Structure formats: C-alpha cells, structure tokens
Homo-oligomer: A and B are copies of this chain.
Amino acid sequence: MTDRAQAPVDFRTDPSRYRHWTLEIAGRIATLTMDVREDAGLRPGYELKLNSYDLGVDIELYDAVQRLRFEHPEVAAVVVTSGKERIFCAGANIRMLGQSSHGWKVNFCKFTNETRNAIEEASGESRQVYLCAINGPCAGGGYELALATEWILMADDGNTSVALPEVPLLAVLPGTGGLTRLVDKRRVRRDRADVFCTVEEGVKGRRAVEWGLVDEVVPRSQLEAAARRRADVYVARSDRPSGARGIALTPLARTIDGGRITYRQVTCEVRRDQGLAEITVSGPAEAPPADVVALHRLGDQFWPLALARELDDLILHLRTNEEEIGLWVVRTTGSADLVQAHDRALEDHAGDWLAREIRLYLRRTLKRLDVSSRSIYALIEPGSCFAGTLLELALAADRSYMLDGQREGDARPPATVRLGGPNFGAYPMVNGLSRLASRFLAEPGRVDDLKGRVGEDLDAAAAAEAGLVTVTPDDIDWEDEVRIAIEERVAFSPDALTGMEASLRFGGPETIESKIFARLSAWQNWIFQRPNAVGAKGALQVYGTGQRGEFDRRRA
C-alpha cells in the first residue's frame, strides 16, 4: 500500500456514519455490536470477511468508546458483542496487513492499542465498565479486544473458541496487547499461555475458564442473559450518575489548506521541505464558567475539552497522514492566568462526571503524544503560555528551548513557565508516573519542592534552575541554537530516533500499557520487518494462497 497515494485518513466520525458498529443504549447498559461490512474497507484490495477489521473499523470503535463517556454518562456497563451469526471476530484483516507498508502496520497497531487502553481506562477510571460476550469464534485481534474488557463471557458451543493464532498462522505476534494482557493482566500461567499461543484452533469451553482465558462459559442460549446479569453487577457498583445528561461531541471543525491545519485552539503548519510540523496551542480566550451548570452548558466548547479533542485529532492526523514529518515543534500562546483558572475549575469540580471525563481525555491525549514516534521540541518564547495543563506539552517534549530575556524589537516581557496543580498527578504517563516524576527520577524530593512553587512565574533562569527546561539561550544565540537543533534532528535516522525516544521517555516503573508500547510493540515491529513474515515467501504474504510461509530457520 503506497499510503501517500491514498486519500488522507480522517479520524472524525459519529454514530450516524458508522458502517461496522452499532451502539444501543438501554437504561444504564450499552451494547456495542460489531457487524463489519465486508465491502466497506478503508482502502481497496481486501474484503473484511468474518468480522475482521481494518483501521476504518477501529476508528468507529474509538469514536464509540469516546462518545459513550461524554454523551452517555448514565451508562455504567458496556457489552461488546458480535452481530454476526457464526463469528465473533477474526481479528485484524490479514490481506490488509499483507498489502500495507511497514509504517502503516505499526501505526495501525499503535492506534488499536490506544483504543483498547482507553477501554480499560473507561472501566477503571471512569467506571463505565466493559465486558465481552463472545458468541462465535474469537481470534487474534478479536480476542485481544475481549482481553481489554473486565469480564469475558463465552458461549459454550461447538463453534465458539478464543484463539491467538498469529504465531502458527501468520508468523507475527498478536500485536494489540494480547501477549502482555495474557500474562500480566489475566496472569495466565506462562506455559499455558505458550500452548495457547501456538494452537491455531484455540481453546473452548471449560478449559478456557480453567486456564483463565475467559471468566465464564454459558450455553449459547443463555449468553445474552448472563452478560446482562454481569452488567447489572457493574451497574450496581458504578459511581456514574444515573440521572445525568450527556453533552454532545459536535463535529470537530478543522480546515486543511496546503500544509496548514487549523482548529480553534490548535494550529499546525506542516513544513514538508524541512521535515517538521510547527504546532501552536492557544490558551483559553476567556474565564472559565462560574459553576458546574455553566460548564455543562458550554459542553465541548469548554476550552480544556476543545483542546483535548483538537490535539487528539491532530496527533492522529499527523501520525497517519504525515509520516515523513519527523519533528513536532510545539509552541503555546495565551494567558497563563486563564489556563490556571481553567485548571482550577476542573480541580474544583473533580467530583463532577464531566470534569472527570475531561481530565481523563486530556490524560489520554497527552499519553498519545508520549507514545508518538516523532521527536518533540517545545519552544518557550515571549508570549508563550506553558502553564499548568499546557506546561505538560513542554514536559512531554524530548527537549525544550526557553528564550532567556527579551527579544530585540519585541516589547513583550520575557517568557515564563508556570506550574499548576495538574502537573503533579492529573496526567500520568503510560508508566504510571507524572511527567514531573518521570523527569526527576533521580531526585523525587524535587517534585515535592516544586509543589511550593505552583502559580509562580518562572523566568528562564528560574525554570532552568528548577530543572523544567533543557536549554535557555538568550536572544543572541536563540536563532542559531534552535535552527541547528532542528536541522540536526531531522537529519538523523528516523528509526534510530524512534528507538531512542521510546527508551528515554519512560524511565522508572513499567505498567501493562508501557509494556505493550515498549516490549510487545518493539518485538512486533521487528517481526513486521523480518522476511519470515513480510518477505515474498513470508507467512503474512502468502496467507490465503494455500502455500505455507518459507522460513529462514536461523534464530536471532
């Protein structure tokens, strides 16, 4: 697939446009039904048979998961199931993978992983708990979707099984968290996991329960009722407001004009000749709403939510449609006071479901930034607004440059940065630590000290002293220093940078999420590069031709 020859992928959709999923709400229980249209693949060249999926299918799933949280706050349990009579889901479409470029495969897996992580976050943090009712063969990515839910029910019939057939069938890994979730989430015994992952036909019935692959098997005729019973348990436990009304996620306004991408709070200038994108994020233009009622009334126009949506869409757009843009240069503009006021509003209303959802959405979006395979520089200049939530952009950057003092001919005061409450835990990275804690692994006490400086405007000298910025050139050095840093970065090998950034960004502890993005994805990416999978006679390429893959038998 020469991705660049295709129309750009648009991640914006809504239920009225879904082709592969239906979302039904009945009281406090939602049902998300996968019923993939074979002929509606995102790209030509493959048919989405057996409820297999491509990026287009997963974009709808992502949208549904997102909307459930904002538009349906009353929903406390979500049942994922299949709308097909004889199949739950066959996983990612193999012909699609076979014809995709390496970058497309990697990016596809990253996005699908993020959506499954979001499903787990909804269950754990938002108390909108997902469960899965498997009503037919459930293989590969299908089972990985089930693994992302909190309770897996499976029909006990001759037809239904769970399987991870990637290794025996395709010579690749289950790439959407499957291996990690088997041993780390469900804690399946490693030797059983080994057997399970090499058995094409999978495991069914009681053995699947005994091995911990599913939680419950029931006769096919009772599957729906059993799922309902389990959902009721989650509903009873949930703290989600049964009487609340959701807010609408209205269509996201975006214009693309040549290299310029414009949203309301976020703009991006793609400079293809230079291999970089200049992203500018604006702080809020006005004070936050006075109370929760007004906040709900603002809905998706409330600045933090608008910011999360726009940044989220931009990251996905750049990742998927601008592969050659290896460096994202991030700037901010606006009023630190107004950012701080918005941060406070979210803190003050932390008990409100919508405020919680907005914080979680910002958290997911910032995580998406962290795991993007792009270099990130933050430029902190006069007029910038790296405060509170927006300071996270600088802390997420691989490095930051802060202009020390004023610019000749620019009357604006010198740049400052400002810590806010959310910098101390509201937005953990995939390693479970805040960006500040990840930054100061050597001196955890420093994070506590910095709490005493919340709200203070730190100029370049103070920010450097506090360890918050990397380099602080003055006006004389700024232009050369930043220009050289950019030119050097875009000249390095994109692959080496990806591996380096993935290794340096996430010091400290590991979590299931960080293991998925590091260990599992890195191995999968390697395998996606190996002739045994993707060579002319590799298993992924010959799948469906009746031939078996031919392998170089050397172990590496």
Query: A residues bordering B, Cβ < 8 Å?
Result: 101-103, 106-107, 166-168, 170-173, 179-180, 182-184, 186-195, 197-198, 212, 275, 323-326, 373-374, 397-400, 438-442, 467, 470-471, 488-489, 492-505, 507-510, 515, 518-520, 522-527, 529-530, 532-533, 539, 549, 551-556
Contact = CB atoms under 8 A, between A and B. Distances in A.
Nearest to A171: B493
A519 B503 contact: yes
A503 B520 contact: yes
Given A189-B442, A192-B470, A519-B518, A525 B172 contact: no
B193 A493 contact: no
A382 B167 CA distance: 33
Q: Give the 6 A-B CB pairs with smallest separation, nearest first.
A: A171-B493, A522-B522, A187-B442, A499-B523, A183-B507, A179-B503
Contact of A529 (B103, B198, B438, B526): B526
A519 B502 contact: yes
Question: How many monomers of this chain does the complex have?
Answer: 2
Given A324-B554, A555-B324, A495 B399 contact: no
A186 to B, nearest CB: 8
Contacts of A523: 498-499, 502-503, 518, 522
Nearest to A499: B523
A513 to B, nearest CB: 12
Contact of A197 (B325, B504, B529, B556): B504
26 contacts: A103-B554, A103-B555, A167-B492, A167-B496, A168-B488, A171-B493, A179-B503, A183-B441, A183-B503, A187-B441, A190-B398, A190-B504, A197-B500, A198-B489, A212-B442, A324-B555, A373-B555, A493-B551, A494-B551, A494-B553, A495-B532, A495-B533, A496-B533, A499-B523, A502-B523, A525-B556
B187 A507 contact: yes
A405 to B, nearest CB: 21
B533 A526 contact: no
Contacts of A184: 441, 507-508
A102 B439 CA distance: 35
A398 B530 CA distance: 23
A492 B549 CA distance: 9
With a 10 A CB-CB cut-off, give which of A167, A192, A495 has the most chain B CB atoms.
A495
A496 B441 contact: no
Given A470-B192, A518-B519, A519-B522, A182 B504 contact: yes
B493 A190 contact: no
B192 A553 contact: no
Nearest to A326: B555
Nearest to A489: B198
A495 B191 contact: no
B195 A470 contact: yes
Nearest to A164: B500
A191 B515 CA distance: 22
A467 B325 CA distance: 51
B167 A493 contact: yes
B189 A539 contact: no
B526 A495 contact: yes
B504 A553 contact: no
Given A499-B524, A510-B509, A522-B526, A533 B324 contact: no
Contact of A495 (B489, B498, B519, B556): B556
Contacts of A103: 554-556
Contacts of A488: 168, 198
Nearest to A553: B324
